[in-house]
Amino acid sequence: AFMLEVFGIHKHYDHPSGKVQVLKGIDLKVNSGDVVAIVGPSGAGKSTLLHIMGGLDRPAEGQVRFDDEDLYRLNENKRAQVRNQKFGFIFQFYHLLPEFTALENVILPALVEKNADLDAVKAKAVKLLDKVGLSQRYEHKPHELSGGEQQRVAIARALINEPKVIFCDEPTGNLDSESGKGVIDLLMELNQKNKQTLVIVTHDESIAKRSHRVVPMRDGKLQ
């Protein structure tokens, strides 16, 4: 069976100016260890689909199955648990907590789990920050870091619970080409070394080129 399967997804928004049909019947299967790039014009519905696949946004119709469970039939707590334990998220604008240091940002998703061992979690977070090249930045807050550094903190944070799937929404969208390449290299290495599955929404040709599969999307449908 596929690790992640999407069937018949529909999504709309009720806007004062009228109903906006954003996803019009999406089917997609992702194997464990895949690198899937979802590409297409702005407004195609890519981010909405990624959020739905990641258990962040309920579809109007259809199913998202992960490890043979229907994500949106789980209760909110269970779904939050799947998101925290099995999924990692990387966004274009990093979404780090501004009041916390790099190290604290990386630690937090692990502390959500009951019985977390703070010393062990800290040691792991340090290792991850070292891995993404931020050994000199543990105590820096997001505003004291460059965009590329913030994104590397976000990657370390996404990895702290050893997720099976990493969902990335324009991970290089706000970076210069050199930092962008660093981020792509890191993501591909995670896939190759740890067999972590990547689902990436991107405009970045160089990500698409290095993906196993490119899924073009247009006007709420896969092509």
Q: Which is nearer to ligand ADP, 28 or 156 (CB)?
A: 28
Least distance to ligand ADP from the beta carbon of 17, Å? 9
Check residue 13 for interaction with ligand ADP (CB under 6 A). Answer: yes
Check residue 202 for interaction with ligand ADP (CB under 6 A). Answer: no
142-149 contacts, C-beta under 8 A, 24 or more apart: 142/94, 142/96, 142/97, 142/98, 142/102, 142/105, 143/98, 145/102, 146/179, 147/94, 147/174, 147/175, 147/176, 147/179, 148/175, 148/176, 148/178, 148/179, 148/180, 148/182, 148/183
Q: Say whether 59 sits in a helix, a strand or coil.
A: coil
Least distance to ligand ADP from the beta carbon of 12, Å? 8
Q: Which is nearer to ligand ADP, 23 or 154 (CB)?
A: 23
Least distance to ligand ADP from the beta carbon of 11, Å? 8
Q: Which is nearer to ligand ADP, 42 or 77 (CB)?
A: 42
Least distance to ligand ADP from the beta carbon of 183, Å? 19
DSSP 122-160: HHHHHHHHHHTT-TT-TT--GGGS-HHHHHHHHHHHHHT
Check residue 22 for interaction with ligand ADP (CB under 6 A). Answer: yes
Report CA 139 to chain centroid distance, whole Å: 24
The site map against ligand ADP for 26-55 (x = CB under 6 A) is ----------------xxxxxxx-------
Residue found under tokens 């702290």: 160
Q: Which is nearer to ligand ADP, 44 or 200 (CB)?
A: 44
Binding site for ligand ADP (CB under 6 A): 13, 15, 20, 22, 42-48
